Amino acid sequence: MPQVYAYACDDERSLFHRITIDLREPAPKEIYFEVMYAGICHSDIHTARGEWGPVAYPLVPGHELVGIVAAVGSEVTKFKVGDKVGVGCMFASCKECEYCTAGEEQFCNNPHAYFTYGVDAEGKSTTGGYSQGFTVREDFALRIPEEIPFHTAAPLLCAGITTYSPLKFWGAGPDTKVAVLGMGGLGHMAVQIASAMGAQVHVISHTRSKEKDGKRLGASYYHASGEAGTLEALRSTFDLIICTVSANDLDYGAYLDTLKPHGAFVDVGLPEAPARINLSKIILGNKILAGSNIGGIEETQEMLDFCAEHSIHPVVEMIGGEDITEAYNKVTASQVRYHYVIDTSTFNDKPAA
Ligand SMILES: [Zn+2]
Ligand SMILES: [Zn+2]
């Protein structure tokens, strides 16, 4: 049984320290890979801090992980030792229900999809990507294209698919105007992907502090919502808004006013508090208020290939295992540009006392 180092926290203070974990040998249809890089997603932080419900500690989070296949089960056909692979938000589902067969495993209802750290079908706690190894069914592993610099690939597996899927579904492309709300881990991916799809991209951020980056990544316009009159001047402008912010006090009505009739406002930011929306803002312009939850396995592979073809890379800051605790605080303080990626080779270093 492979035994590897991982980083775990023991309670909602989310203080990370190194532990040793046992992973299972791959079953006939599974692969085992050595995790090299793992992204830190904001949802890891919500989970680790108990903000989304009770957690079984010690918790090893991480659902954006990439590495090299080190062992394959006897019936594996998609991968061989040495391949570059990744795992995103899900590691299993039934693959037989109407949603799984439609390529939307995230909506599996038989009984549900299994998310990368949590519990498995037997009710056992599972570990995630802040680990030097991972065993997974081959049909939930993604192929990482050579063109994508490997240390930047991990965030695509959550932030990439979370933004790609709604942009594609709602028709971002030539002759569309897309607004990206928020210029963080998700927003900076949405800007690049929407721009590669051919849309005219606008960023709406509270301040102009990231304007240079936004324009470099593909935005044609950058608006500061903190400046008076900004949203009023954008009335009936956009075909599509991708909202990546999770602020509890977002003025939905003001943003819905910036949509053209029939336009769609798609939320991927997941605020904690229920939103209050005046429905006249939707009804009077036949507007759509929608949500979007990651994407299926096939679509995730399509997104990876799209990013390879269009040279889309997450902008990352590399950190070691001992930096995770501090990184969490910086993410919640919006001080990361734009996504932390953990280099798991640092796990071999002696942890600080
Ligand atoms: Zn995520
Ligand atoms: Zn299913």
Q: Where are the beta strands (DSSP E) in the chain?
A: 3-9, 16-22, 30-39, 65-72, 84-87, 90-92, 114-115, 133-137, 142-143, 177-181, 200-205, 221-224, 238-243, 259-267, 288-291, 316-319, 339-343
HSE, side-chain direction, 13 A CA sphere, residue 330: 15
The closest ligand to the CA of 161 turns out to be: 1
* Ligand 1 mean position, distance from CA 138 (Å): 21
* Ligand 2 mean position, distance from CA 128 (Å): 21
Q: What CATH class has 159-291?
A: alpha beta
* Ligand 2 mean position, distance from CA 112 (Å): 7
pLDDT tens for the chain, 353 residues long, are 789 999 999 999 999 999 999 999 999 999 999 999 999 999 999 999 998 888 999 999 999 999 999 999 999 999 999 999 999 999 999 999 999 999 999 999 999 999 999 888 888 889 999 999 999 999 999 999 999 999 999 999 999 999 999 999 999 999 999 999 999 999 999 999 999 999 999 999 999 999 999 999 999 999 999 999 999 999 999 999 999 998 778 999 999 999 999 999 999 988 778 888 999 999 999 999 999 999 999 999 999 999 999 999 999 999 999 999 999 999 999 899 999 999 999 999 866 55
* Ligand 2 mean position, distance from CA 96 (Å): 5
The closest ligand to the CA of 185 turns out to be: 1
Q: Coil, strand or helix: which one is 190?
A: helix
**Partner residues linked to 181 by β-bridges:** 204, 243
* Ligand 1 mean position, distance from CA 41 (Å): 5
The closest ligand to the CA of 40 turns out to be: 1
The closest ligand to the CA of 112 turns out to be: 2
* Ligand 1 mean position, distance from CA 43 (Å): 5
Q: Where are the domains of the chain?
A: 3-157+314-348, 159-291
The closest ligand to the CA of 52 turns out to be: 1
**Global confidence as pTM:** 0.96
Looking at domain 3-157+314-348, its CATH architecture is Alpha-Beta Complex (3.90)
* Ligand 1 mean position, distance from CA 309 (Å): 23
